[in-house]
Amino acid sequence: MGMSCNQCQESVHGTGCTVRGVCGKDEPTAQLQDVLVYAAEGLALAAEKLAGSVSVNVGQLISESLFVTVTNTNFDEDSIVAQIRKTLAVRDELNASLDHCSDHDAAHWNGSSKEDFLAKAATVSINSLSENEDLRSLKSLVLYGLKGLAAYTDHAAVLGYHDEDIYAFYVKALAALTKELPADELTGLVLETGGVAVKAMALLDKANTTTYGHPEITTVSTGVGKNPGILISGHDLRDLEELLRQTEGTGVDVYTHCEMLPAHYYPAFKKYSHFVGNYGGAWWSQDKEFDTFNGPILMTTNCIVPVREAYRNRMFTTGMAGYPGLKHIAARAEGKEKDFSLLVEMAKTCKPPKELENGKIVGGFAHNQVLALADKVVAAVKSGAIKRFVVMAGCDGRHASRQYYTDVAAALPEGTIILTAGCAKYRYNKLELGDIGGIPRVLDAGQCNDSYSLAVIALKLKEVFQLDDINDLPISFDIAWYEQKAVTVLLALLFLGVKGIRLGPTLPEFLTPNVAAVLVEKFGIKPVGTVTADIEAMMAGA
């Protein structure tokens, strides 16, 4: 039967991953993820037939199910099977309330065994979206955009924030993926996904900043203390909040890893003296760093890489994350916190982390903080001290070709400011790039989930400089992508009218030449080139 996955930047070029994912995802896991997407489509078709709004329960369930299939989030067959069953059960409830079956094929295959689901997988892979490769490419763009969106709305939902319009869009778009639609309708759906992405990022921004305050300029240590520690990775701030509360006064320190680094920027977490620093770099080097951390590690979301024996018994998952053989910390019971006592007790028996480095990272430049510096920034632009902003947000990844981003950051002229968000920053956030009149040359807005801040900052600059078009700003976009949240951010930028984005280290494999040509023609998207040529072009405004 084989697997067929091409959703991330590390997809095997030319064929997608067909035997085993570069990410480590094996064939049954990939197939069960396809079936889970298919079950979510069945749920959407049932919800589409109901008059009125899409319920929060259905919207949240779709968010969770799609999030499970985001690259490097969940490798655990049993938990994916459980999520398929949950999704089908709600689909069946909706169909029962309508008193008819969905015409989606899913209505006839809700067998309960994993084998049943695997047998179904052959007919529901990404290839089944359409026989026409261009239509399949457009549908893939929508589906991957939805997966990234799902991560945003799941994080917002965890904090109690929902938007029924976004949930209604899930239903509309997932249902559309099951239908034969012409290219122009699918192109419209791609752009609409970008518009909904802006809404979802704004919702998550509101959820995070209302709950934890607005990020502030913060210096984070990359060294280690003398106490044992727990390392928390992924993107879920509520998990961190509860872990910090449950470790307070226990003699166990808490460290962030990868995309949890920006948690240090939030006022709500600054009061914890045992929240000591950040350990290691971007997600892909975890198989070296987790060994030397010595204590328990909690993965709240992506990115998990194949787990090594050296730390397997110290690693835990929670939320939508999963990995076979790792202990999973259960969801919150109504009105209760998650129970992290297993990690706390284990940490007390562990050695302190081994020092990897002993420096600092400065961040916290989300929209509120940057707008507080607006006068200074505007004056620096007017005086010519700041010549250009370069947005280098997105994801990091394993490939050596991503050295491009380090080299661009190092070689950009001194009058440039790098605006970043996401784990792409690890390619240059430990370089000494200095400042411009006190404004650091790398302004880190936060996680990939905080890319919204970069759009707000750009729109504010447009307003301050009284420009009609965002593309008239002295700003260039040199974006790095890896997983599907970056696809969502890209669609959001296109929706906001940003033109001429450089995308790398390679263009998505799921774009056919015809679909890529449309993006080039309409939006001027281009692949990254050489460091020298790209810097020269960006400084010239291209």
Shortest distance in whole angstroms from residue 396 CB to ligand SF3? 6
Question: CB under 5 to 8 A by kind: which of ligand SF3, ligand SF4, none does 303 bind?
Answer: ligand SF3
Give the nearer residue to ligand SF3 in terms of CB position, either 490 or 519.
490
Shortest distance in whole angstroms from residue 486 CB to ligand SF3? 6
Q: How many residues lie near ligand SF4 (CB under 6 A)? A: 14
Are the beta carbons of 272 and 249 closer than 8 angstroms? no
Shortest distance in whole angstroms from residue 151 CB to ligand SF3? 9
Q: Cα separation of 239 and 232, whole Å?
A: 9
Indicate whether 94 belongs to the interface with ligand SF3 (CB under 6 A): no
Indicate whether 17 belongs to the interface with ligand SF4 (CB under 6 A): yes
**Which of 298, 390, 395, 457 is in the footprint of ligand SF3 by CB under 6 A?**
395
Q: DSSP for 190-202?
A: HHHHHHHHHHHHH
Shortest distance in whole angstroms from residue 235 CB to ligand SF3? 6
Nearest Cα to Cα of residue 256 among 245, 240, 242: 240
Q: Is 526 helix (H, G, I), strand (E, B) or coil?
A: strand
Indicate whether 11 belongs to the interface with ligand SF4 (CB under 6 A): yes
Indicate whether 8 belongs to the interface with ligand SF4 (CB under 6 A): yes
Q: Is 180 helix (H, G, I), strand (E, B) or coil?
A: coil
Give the chain's radius of gyration (CA, Å).
Answer: 23
- The C-alpha torsion from 492 through 494 and 498 to 504, rounded to 10°, is 90
Q: Where are the beta strands (DSSP E) in 397-508?
A: 416-420, 435-436, 439-440, 442-444, 475-480, 502-504
Nearest Cα to Cα of residue 31 among 3, 62, 72, 67: 3
Are the beta carbons of 519 and 149 closer than 8 angstroms? no
Are the beta carbons of 146 and 189 closer than 8 angstroms? no
Q: Binding pattern to ligand SF3, positions 477-496, x when CB under 6 A? A: -----xx-xx----------
**Which of 61, 106, 159, 303 is in the footprint of ligand SF3 by CB under 6 A?**
303
Shortest distance in whole angstroms from residue 18 CB to ligand SF4? 9
**Which of 38, 144, 283, 323 is in the footprint of ligand SF3 by CB under 6 A?**
283
Question: CB under 5 to 8 A by kind: which of ligand SF3, ligand SF4, none does 283 bind?
Answer: ligand SF3
Indicate whether 419 belongs to the interface with ligand SF3 (CB under 6 A): no
Give the pairing type, strands 218-221 and 360-363: antiparallel
Binding site for ligand SF4 (CB under 6 A): 5-8, 10-11, 16-17, 21-23, 25, 30, 71
Residues near ligand SF3 (CB under 6 A) are 72, 258-259, 283, 302-303, 395, 422-423, 447-448, 482-483, 485-486
